[in-house]
Amino acid sequence: MKRLTLLLFLVSTLSFAQQQPLKIFISVDMEGIGGIGSPKMTSGNGKDYGLGRQLMTDEVNAVVSAIFELGDAYILVNDSHGDMQNLLHTKLDPRVEYVQSNIKPLGMVQGLDDTFDAVIFIGYHTRAGTPNGFLAHTGSGSVKGLWINGKEVGEGGLNAHFAGALGVPVVLAAGDLAFTKQIQELFPVRTVSTKESIGSSAAKMTHPSKVHEMLKEQTKAAMQDLSNAKPIEVGEPTTLKMKFSSTTRADILMSIPEMKRIDGTTVEYIAKSMDAAYRLIRVMYKYISW
């Protein structure tokens, strides 16, 4: 009798485990959204910003609907652009939870932890200094370069490292064509290209409806292939190096104990973990001013 009880318990535990909904984290930036082809559409007081918000919300909903078509899921969406109050939250698919606004210590990955099964990036862009990258930048205009353990990364690469240290794979990344190429140089990942940038502030666009179709298709493929997805490996302690546009910011950052000066505009720091590195990076470029 005891054996049978144990067996029943194990079977029910197993089936319960199998029925656990997938946990998916979506980080959504704005520059790489399909249909956004001018810098003004990404800025609060710019022409057609309202349309930009709608397009951003539509892309999230396209991805979310594709995930739910395959089964139950818990989805957390993090608004990751500018002041992080861009999504039209009342128009988001009601099945998601979402993180809105600033100030949050983990910025574009706020809410992500090791209980998630996968991460999706939407609306992403290339790192600072990338030719033909639509509105290419890393965090803010003051950053000229960022390296994690010697590898140059932009926002997508940085966030993928954060996820990797938690053991969570990035399974889909969408943004302009140069971004999709750049992120694939760091690790293998499914991508959707939304536009081909002409210089840094104009682009040849794919129609948003077509982008939504591609996003749905690639989201489903990513979900079906989840068992093969691998998180990127991140060495800890984690060395971060940042190059800035001015020597003044580097001067100020030298007030942090153990910060090392590499050259006039570049500093380096060895953090005990990727999590610690991420939090410090955010302080270094965003919250320090003079």
- Give the total of residues touching Zn ion (CB under 5 A): 3
| Residue linked to tokens 């197993």 | 14
Q: Which is nearer to Zn ion, 39 or 111 (CB)?
A: 39
Q: Which is nearer to Zn ion, 106 or 226 (CB)?
A: 106
Q: Which is nearer to Zn ion, 29 or 79 (CB)?
A: 29
> Which amino acid is present at 282?
R
137 binds Zn ion (CB under 5 A): no
Closest approach of Zn ion to the CB of residue 81, in Å: 4
In sequence order, which residues have a C-beta less than 8 Å from that of residue 17 and are 6 or more positions away? Answer: none
> Catalytic pick from 81, 137, 161, 212?
137
| Residue linked to tokens 């077509």 | 210
Binding mask 73-112 for Zn ion (x = CB under 5 A): --------x-------------------------------
Binding mask 5-44 for Zn ion (x = CB under 5 A): ------------------------xx--------------
Closest approach of Zn ion to the CB of residue 26, in Å: 15
C-beta separation of 131 from 137 below 8 A:
no
* Pairwise CA distance, residues 196 & 175, whole Å: 9
Helix extents (H) in 126-246? 155-165, 177-186, 208-224
User: Environment class of residue 35 by beta-carbon count within 10 Å: exposed (0-12), middle (13-18) or buried (19+)?
Assistant: buried
Instruction: Annotate 38-94 with DSSP letters as a single string.
Output: SGGGGSTTSTTHHHHHHHHHHHHHHHHHHHHHHS-EEEEEEE-STTS--S-GGGS-T
Active site residue 212: no
Q: Which is nearer to Zn ion, 43 or 65 (CB)?
A: 43
Residue ranges binding Zn ion (CB under 5 A): 29-30, 81
Indicate which residues carry an active-site annotation. Answer: 137
